[in-house]
Structure 1
């Protein structure tokens, strides 16, 4: 698989990564099986999709423990992207960027992951009660201590995933200003934010900032939380614990209206051969947004991980990109 740089080029990863959050029940939790998740991890690594994206919040903790079972055997094959800065507080999730907390969180993640070093350690959200320089400085100390190789920001906004908590957008959305302030303390190697065919505007400021500075961009939810695969049926519904059950783009009405996006992806896919899928075209579009962009599609199924990895072989034409850029704005805020 093609390799792409994280940061100034010192670290490289496969062009397509693997988001591990779905293995801990964010989507269709009743269908999760440990053995399926382990097979998925091994499949991704076998195909070169070696960036494994996790966080201590996922589970909480069980996601890192799951990865630890694989890393114990295949640490040299993997690039581990972990996160800290969000913690469960009873029924709520709150931002916690205190230096002492981040140091303890890193040590705990290292134990669960069964590794001596985390390749990319991300600040999961910005804590409004702690200057970002203090949080970032503590994380920089972890690099100096040899516990972490590089640092990044997870810049998803409030409500974008299961990390949404009670304190509003100010607790979650890292901005370009946060990145610039952190950059004065220690280099930012990567930024993770939503980017997909149905959310092309989500990273409209972050992506150019990364491109201008050689900062890696990890594209979260590049398949629109599964919608852009074309495998979801409008009106079928979701389990109550599934994060999509509360998302306005996943109402039966919105899903039916948004099938036009899937139809557009399938149209492009047909031009590339019978084996190319809508999901692969959606990932190829993300890859085409810049050489520093690495889509991180999440799945807990080995056959989906294999399908996603092969998207790195799809090369969209200028005509394809124009056609995809003209797809309608999806319904659902």
Structure 2
């Protein structure tokens, strides 16, 4: 997502992003996560340029169910839309099949079984190989359900078609999914795709506490990224720095990713970047082996504070 939408728009350049994707694949990454809502459409178009040359090197995870409105995102889970969206994504990605097709956000106006059933038909048609779901921590995740209904919602989906993955925010400063969702994923053999594993850049330790994000940057509206809250949350970065310092050459970002990789075999971090350097650094986290003391320290870091607290 950061390559074309959401973070530091003035730094988003197509050729730079294409090189970053190639660098990630060269460094051993295989999963490329995208969505039609990113841009909208520009992220898929960019990845399509890479996939045209390197489809065999990548596992493609795309999404449907979320449209970009004038000032906000709008869920759309209508079956007809799902079918059209899949065909359009296939064209933009320049591929004949999507490895993992994810429901970006359940539509509170459409029974989730109808949306999921339409997605299952795409598997039968050979356009998609597996299905996943995102944003289950949203209060309006499904008609008649909220945050407390996540296990029930997943059970409803499983009755229609197997859930292969669940994507949600998970990092050292946002650990709710570790206790509320990870046990379910492990019990059912479902992958947990950790979105925002670097806390929208905060956990890299490279952001200043001044705030002031440019127009179009999602962090400008994130209550964790006011100047005051960025200062309050510095102990999280300090903890990552301490752990990284015990491993020569390691960075705070690598420590954050290594913690996720050590949580469970079903956890897959999804770090986003726009630059080759960061892509290679992120992939190198796979070789960082944290000690039990490191893992305990990161697990017990304070959760992110926000101006909404």
- How far apart are the structure 2 equivalents of 1:35 and 1:296? 21
Name 2:23's counterpart in structure 1.
Answer: 43
Taking the TM superposition and a 5 Å limit, the aligned residue runs for 1:42-191 are 42-155=22-135, 157-158=137-138, 169-170=139-140, 175-191=150-166
CA contact (8 A) 1:194 1:203 kept: no
- How far apart are the structure 2 equivalents of 1:123 and 1:176? 16
Name 1:279's counterpart in structure 2.
Answer: 253
- How far apart are the structure 1 equivalents of 2:191 and 2:141? 23
- How far apart are the structure 1 equivalents of 2:71 and 2:245? 46
Number of equivalenced pairs = 302
How does the TM-score come out when normalised to structure 1? 0.87
Name 2:272's counterpart in structure 1.
Answer: 298
Unaligned runs of 5+ in 2: none
CA shift, 1:203, in A, is 4.8
CA shift, 1:302, in A, is 1.1
Can you list the C-alpha shifts for 1:68-94, whole angstroms capped at 9, x where unaligned?
111000000011000000113443321
Name 2:212's counterpart in structure 1.
Answer: 237
| Local SS of the residue matching 1:283 | helix
- How far apart are the structure 1 equivalents of 2:84 and 2:158? 23
- How far apart are the structure 1 equivalents of 2:52 and 2:5? 23
Within the alignment, does 1:192 sit opposite 2:167 as a pair? yes
CA contact (8 A) 1:24 1:62 kept: yes
CA contact (8 A) 1:176 1:205 kept: no
CA shift, 1:257, in A, is 1.8
CA contact (8 A) 1:193 1:203 kept: no
- How far apart are the structure 2 equivalents of 1:237 and 1:193? 26
Unaligned runs of 5+ in 1: 1-20, 159-168
Can you list the C-alpha shifts for 1:8-58, whole angstroms capped at 9, x where unaligned?
xxxxxxxxxxxxx11113111011111110011100111111111000011
| Local SS of the residue matching 2:40 | coil
Name 2:293's counterpart in structure 1.
Answer: 319
- How far apart are the structure 1 equivalents of 2:3 and 2:136? 19
CA shift, 1:236, in A, is 4.8
| Local SS of the residue matching 1:22 | coil
CA contact (8 A) 2:211 2:226 kept: no
- How far apart are the structure 1 equivalents of 2:284 and 2:47? 22
Name 1:213's counterpart in structure 2.
Answer: 188
User: Do the aligned partners of residues 179 and 197 (structure 1) sit closer, same or farther apart at CA in structure 2, a change above 3 Å counting?
Assistant: same
Name 2:224's counterpart in structure 1.
Answer: 249
- How far apart are the structure 2 equivalents of 1:91 and 1:244? 15
RMSD: 1.5
- How far apart are the structure 2 equivalents of 1:64 and 1:149? 18
With a CA cutoff of 8 Å and minimum separation of 6, indicate the structure with the bigger relative contact order: 1
CA shift, 1:272, in A, is 1.3
- How far apart are the structure 1 equivalents of 2:244 and 2:71? 43
| Local SS of the residue matching 1:294 | strand
CA contact (8 A) 1:95 1:171 kept: no
